[in-house]
Amino acid sequence: MSTILLIDCSPKMTQAVTELLGDNVEIKSTVFEEKMNLSSYSMAILESSDDQKYALQQIRNLRYACNFRDIPIIMVGESFNNAQIQPYIMAGATEALPLDAPPVACRQILQGYMIPGRQPMEEEMKYLNHFIKNTHTVLKKMAKMEVIFKEVYFSNDFRIFGDISGIIGLSGESEGTVVATFYWTLAREIIARMMNVQKDQVNSELIHDGVGEIINMIAGSTKKNLVGTPYHFELSLPSVVVGYGHQIGHPESVSIAVILFEVGHSAFAIQVGIKPD
């Protein structure tokens, strides 16, 4: 049974959501906290308030709490106008749902977001396993860090709610992109370990260059593993994008696998999109 977490929802809103979702889910209610753990929930629902600035910060905190997992965050309210909806989406909400819409439509929207993402097929794991293995190897060798592989899912949402991403374009026998996305604090720690210095000695320029080098090493090692397969590729030079909620461009018709890793209490994601010729 799916578990839905209601955050700062009034009794009236809780009743409305409960009636929409029915008896097929477990609903829990809590108050918002700056640091929350959403790992055991299928969806988080937050009630809108008159203080939109605070609501946007709540959404950003909740999106970080997802640790790159594909957990829908739904902002619900009596009604929304177009000017209100866009800031919620840009902050990390999956949907801003006005409950003055027809109940059937609201129910379909909520139930649609509860459908799990597609899992990788056996053929796809033939190349994804190499990215998983090489991510382990690069972080252990270069930063003396043990990373834990958690899961793979496929996503059509190109927004990445981390802080910094290293990107490599793929071409040749197959084309696509590989992206490593980190939260800023973890990126700083990794680069400090790679350089064997204290974290306060690592500035933004070093983090920028280090993340580019990490994705270059992961993709380069995997390129060697895939020689002679339909997934072999050539590499572009790495590029780096910084900023919360940035979007990554991928070739059309390419399925994007999101590989999740944990390091201590933090996480990072590797996106892999490969299309064989």
Residue 160, pLDDT score: 86
Same domain? For 182 and 268 the reply is yes
Same domain? For 163 and 272 the reply is yes
Residue 98, pLDDT score: 92
At residue 3 the predicted structure's pLDDT band, cuts being 50, 70 and 90, is: very high
pLDDT > 90 fraction of the chain, expressed in percent and rounded:
76
* 149, pLDDT greater than 80: yes
Q: What is the mean pLDDT of residues 53-59?
A: 94
Q: What is the mean pLDDT of residues 124-148?
A: 96
Same domain? For 140 and 257 the reply is yes
The C-alpha torsion from 151 through 154 and 155 to 156, rounded to 10°, is 170
Same domain? For 210 and 261 the reply is yes
* 178, pLDDT greater than 90: yes
Residue 253, pLDDT score: 79
Residue 116, pLDDT score: 81
Same domain? For 190 and 106 the reply is no
Structural domain harbouring 69: 2-113
CATH number of the domain residue 32 falls in: 3.40.50.2300
User: b/e per residue, 103-141, with b = 16+ CB within 10 A?
Assistant: eeebeebbeebeeeeeebeeebeebbbbbbebbbebbee
* 147, pLDDT greater than 90: yes
Residue 157, pLDDT score: 75
At residue 138 the predicted structure's pLDDT band, cuts being 50, 70 and 90, is: very high
Count up the domains in the chain and report the number: 2
Same domain? For 104 and 208 the reply is no
Same domain? For 103 and 131 the reply is no
DSSP of the chain: -EEEEEES--HHHHHHHHHHHGGGEEEEEE---SS---TT-SEEEEE--S-HHHHHHHHHHHHHHTTT----EEEEES---HHHHHHHHHHT-SEEEETTS-HHHHHHHHHHHTSPPPPPPHHHHHHHHHHHHHHHHHHHHHH----EEEEEEEES--EE-SSEEEEEEEESSEEEEEEEEE-HHHHHHHHHHHHTS-GGG--HHHHHHHHHHHHHHHHHHHHHHTTTSTT--EE---EEEESTTEE----TT--EEEEEEEETTEEEEEEEEEEE-
At residue 115 the predicted structure's pLDDT band, cuts being 50, 70 and 90, is: confident
* 221, pLDDT greater than 90: yes
Query: Strand 95-98 relative to strand 73-77: parallel, antiparallel, unpaired?
Result: parallel
Q: Are 44 and 114 in contact, with CB atoms under 8 Å apart?
A: no
* 252, pLDDT greater than 80: no
The predicted model scores a pTM of: 0.91
Same domain? For 165 and 263 the reply is yes
Sign, CA dihedral 6-12-15-17, equals negative
At residue 239 the predicted structure's pLDDT band, cuts being 50, 70 and 90, is: very high
Residue 14, pLDDT score: 93
Residue 102, pLDDT score: 92
CATH number of the domain residue 227 falls in: 3.40.1550.10
Average pLDDT over the chain reads 92
Structure tokens belonging to residue 190: 């990794």
62-76, 148-162, 186-200, 219-233: least confidently modelled range: 148-162
Q: What is the mean pLDDT of residues 66-73?
A: 92
Q: What is the mean pLDDT of residues 165-174?
A: 93
At residue 254 the predicted structure's pLDDT band, cuts being 50, 70 and 90, is: confident
At residue 186 the predicted structure's pLDDT band, cuts being 50, 70 and 90, is: very high
At residue 74 the predicted structure's pLDDT band, cuts being 50, 70 and 90, is: very high
Structure tokens belonging to residue 236: 């572009």
Same domain? For 145 and 95 the reply is no
Same domain? For 197 and 103 the reply is no
pLDDT tens digits, residue range 13-55?
Answer: 999 999 998 878 999 999 999 889 898 999 999 999 889 899 9
Q: Which of 52, 84, 113 is the last residue of a domain?
A: 113
